[in-house]
Structure 1
Amino acid sequence: MSTLHIVGVHGIRQGSAATTAGLSSRWQKSVAAALAVTGDADRVGPVEVTVPSYQSAFPKTATRYIRLGPETADAADAPVDEEEEEFILEALASYEPSAVDDAEADDASLVPGRTLGEGWLTPRILRRAHAVDRKVGKGATARLMWLVREAHTYLRDEETSAAVRAKVREALVETGTSMVIAHSLGSVVFYDMLSRGEIPDTRGGEPGVTTLVTCGSPLSWLAVRAGVHTTGGPLAVPAGVEWTNLYASNDYVAKGGGLAHLASGVVDVKVNNGALQPHDVHRYLDKAAVSERILKAAAGRGK
């Protein structure tokens, strides 16, 4: 029985020391756990997971070290510029629309001294972040800002995004995979590649990837979607690609919801990731829904 190759596309905050070998090993263990739970390991046969590390493609800026709290001595960076400010404001507004009016009414003095590295967050961002925290829960924006800033860097810095996509494409070519699992910002990266027609052709004129599983995806955010296709338009599922999207109700990145309402052809699967770290990739990978998609991909192996 031939090996089923799976390429994983990781999200943010992997750390500059994260390697392809390390990420691949950890994802492999979680996938093996899913297959063990469902008892599908024997039917699937050998599986090899490759997760190319693209962390080095990101500039070492506050995107890496962001904190909504006391200034961090190691995180020198320039202040948020006007364009990024608008991106952050839009992301926070789409995450919790009802917080927008509250944010405009707030006074900046309510949240003094909160910084982003050595660059001060603007009063508008501070007011909206404070309003979102009131609506969603204390510390919500501290977690969200990691994703928002790295998403901004990916979507607005063509040199960075091209380097990230090149890393993923290299893994797709080397493995000849038909299955991709993309987590968090990784779902944005892979959807961007689909939209650009950058998936390697290994099926005689058609993209080689036929099975896509996304987990904890932020693609429903207006500010993120605007960077990968026309704002307000539906997400497009390419012909021949079976797309399953996993989301947890308390995953703050996925906004507790799926993608099917934005794209016909996407199958949403709600999973329970518990109360602690519901966005963690390994809490998604060990689910029966992942095992089921792997089993189906394995059944079509070699066709």
Structure 2
Amino acid sequence: MTRGKPQLLFVHGIGGLRDTATDRREWLEALVAGARDAGMADAISGLTMGWLADVTFANYSDLFNRRGAQGDTAGELEEDEVPFLAGLLDAMLEELAEQFPAESSPQDARVISDARYQLDAAAQGRQSQGAGEGFRGLVGVTTTMLRLPGLRHAAQWMNGRAILFQLAQVGRYLDRRAKKAELGMAVRARVLEGLDPSRPLVVVSHSLGTVVAYEVLHEYGGEVPVWITVGSPLALGAVVLDRLVPRPASCPANVASWRNFWDRDDVVVGRPHLGNWIGPSKSGVKAVTERVDSSGLWTHTATKYLEHGAVARPVIEALTS
């Protein structure tokens, strides 16, 4: 049986270089706002003063940005990354088409249709002219996608090239071939660093961080009272789901509760398939998905999710139980 002070672990998603202290503070402040929204203000001092848990922000961003760039220009894409990115964009456009149907969002639906046309053209260009042409075509696709309201107002993505290079981090993490698999191993080692399996671990993971956390928790030997996933791409079919280890995908055995949250206006992650596409653990635990609605045009940030009482409540409950 685990005992002692709980641990709270934050696992981030794609992006440029991060400052561990700054991100830890911002995620914690958002969780405090969520606790207030949940009517759990009595837990706020415990969070801010560190009485409730030892809080860790697992920062592995430097492993993707070793050349000192800020995420959008860190090196060049390799030829074998183009097919993965094309598949990821295809899955994203499929999800976006569900979010912006022509009958209710005709202008946005036209943008998605234009991006789909460009994606098909990029695939043809790669076949006839090589990966360089395919990459330029994908930049065109992401540039077109920036016309959608949510993406257009995302400060982290100022141009189509920036989107593409940051989305490439997903493929780089999931690449299992020879030396390329070393990156994923290094990321998981960074997340596991300093954790104490003898104490309860509450995990909050976002975006690519949910993919990392899935594999980390299958390796981790300690008790996890609750695992929170927000803005998760885990259910993006063959692009992500079929590349997870272990397969077939299932809830980690040490997770007592898995809560997955998604925002209807999150243009990166669409329909909530996790509960249907990822199997339960041997004890029957599986993802329980709940929708939240954030204000503003850009909802795919961890802090937006954490500010919701519905997201903060299971975290606080696990830390205080």
Question: TM-score of the superposition, structure 2-length normalised?
Answer: 0.70
Supply the AA of the counterpart residue of 2:35: L
Instruction: Specify which of 304, 308, 321 is matched with residue 283 of structure 1.
Output: 304
Supply the AA of the counterpart residue of 1:152: G
1:153 and 2:172 equivalent? yes
1:217 and 2:232 equivalent? yes
The aligned residue for residue 114 of structure 1 is none
Distance in 2, Cα, partners of 1:214 & 1:31: 14
Q: How many residues align?
A: 269
The aligned residue for residue 88 of structure 1 is 85
Structure 1's consecutive aligned runs of 4 or more residues displaced over 4 angstroms after TM superposition are: 61-64, 97-101, 125-141
Secondary structure (helix, strand or coil) at the match of 2:318 reads helix
Deviation at 1:177, TM superposition (A): 4.0
- The change in CA–CA distance for 1:240 and 1:77 in structure 2 (over 3 A counts) is closer
Deviation at 1:129, TM superposition (A): 6.0
The aligned residue for residue 226 of structure 1 is 242
1:192 and 2:215 equivalent? yes
Secondary structure (helix, strand or coil) at the match of 1:245 reads strand
> Which structure carries more relative contact order (alpha carbon 8 Å, separation 6+)?
2
Instruction: Specify which of 288, 294, 309 is matched with residue 273 of structure 1.
Output: 294
The aligned residue for residue 29 of structure 2 is 29
Q: Given that residues 92 and 269 in structure 2 are in contact (C-alpha distance below 8 angstroms), is that contact kept between their aligned partners in structure 1? A: no
Distance in 2, Cα, partners of 1:287 & 1:187: 18
The aligned residue for residue 251 of structure 2 is 237
Q: Given that residues 20 and 53 in structure 1 are in contact (C-alpha distance below 8 angstroms), is that contact kept between their aligned partners in structure 2? A: yes
Deviation at 1:227, TM superposition (A): 2.5
- Give ranges in structure 2 of 5+ residues lacking alignment: 98-112, 153-158, 280-285
The aligned residue for residue 75 of structure 2 is 77
Greater per-residue helix proportion: 2
Instruction: Specify which of 120, 124, 145 is matched with residue 134 of structure 2.
Output: 124
Deviation at 1:285, TM superposition (A): 0.7
Instruction: Specify which of 262, 268, 285 is matched with residue 247 of structure 1.
Output: 262
- The change in CA–CA distance for 1:187 and 1:286 in structure 2 (over 3 A counts) is same
Distance in 1, Cα, partners of 2:120 & 2:271: 27
Supply the AA of the counterpart residue of 2:232: S
Question: TM-score of the superposition, structure 1-length normalised?
Answer: 0.74
Distance in 1, Cα, partners of 2:34 & 2:71: 33
Q: Given that residues 63 and 150 in structure 1 are in contact (C-alpha distance below 8 angstroms), is that contact kept between their aligned partners in structure 2? A: no
- The change in CA–CA distance for 1:77 and 1:170 in structure 2 (over 3 A counts) is closer
RMSD across aligned positions (CA)? 3.5
Deviation at 1:43, TM superposition (A): 5.7
Q: Given that residues 183 and 216 in structure 1 are in contact (C-alpha distance below 8 angstroms), is that contact kept between their aligned partners in structure 2? A: yes
Q: Given that residues 248 and 271 in structure 1 are in contact (C-alpha distance below 8 angstroms), is that contact kept between their aligned partners in structure 2? A: yes
Say which is worse superposed, 23-32 or 43-52, in terms of deviation.
43-52
Secondary structure (helix, strand or coil) at the match of 2:204 reads strand
Distance in 2, Cα, partners of 1:88 & 1:62: 23
Supply the AA of the counterpart residue of 1:124: G
The aligned residue for residue 20 of structure 1 is 20
Alignment of 1:288-299 (within 5 A): 288-299=309-320
Distance in 1, Cα, partners of 2:61 & 2:74: 19
Distance in 2, Cα, partners of 1:266 & 1:208: 17
Deviation at 1:208, TM superposition (A): 1.9
Supply the AA of the counterpart residue of 2:300: H
Deviation at 1:292, TM superposition (A): 1.8
Q: Given that residues 7 and 177 in structure 1 are in contact (C-alpha distance below 8 angstroms), is that contact kept between their aligned partners in structure 2? A: no
Say which is worse superposed, 291-300 or 37-46, in terms of deviation.
37-46
Supply the AA of the counterpart residue of 2:228: V
- The change in CA–CA distance for 1:38 and 1:175 in structure 2 (over 3 A counts) is farther
Deviation at 1:121, TM superposition (A): 6.9
Secondary structure (helix, strand or coil) at the match of 2:233 reads coil
Secondary structure (helix, strand or coil) at the match of 1:47 reads coil
- Give ranges in structure 1 of 5+ residues lacking alignment: 67-74, 111-119, 202-206
Q: Given that residues 89 and 125 in structure 1 are in contact (C-alpha distance below 8 angstroms), is that contact kept between their aligned partners in structure 2? A: no
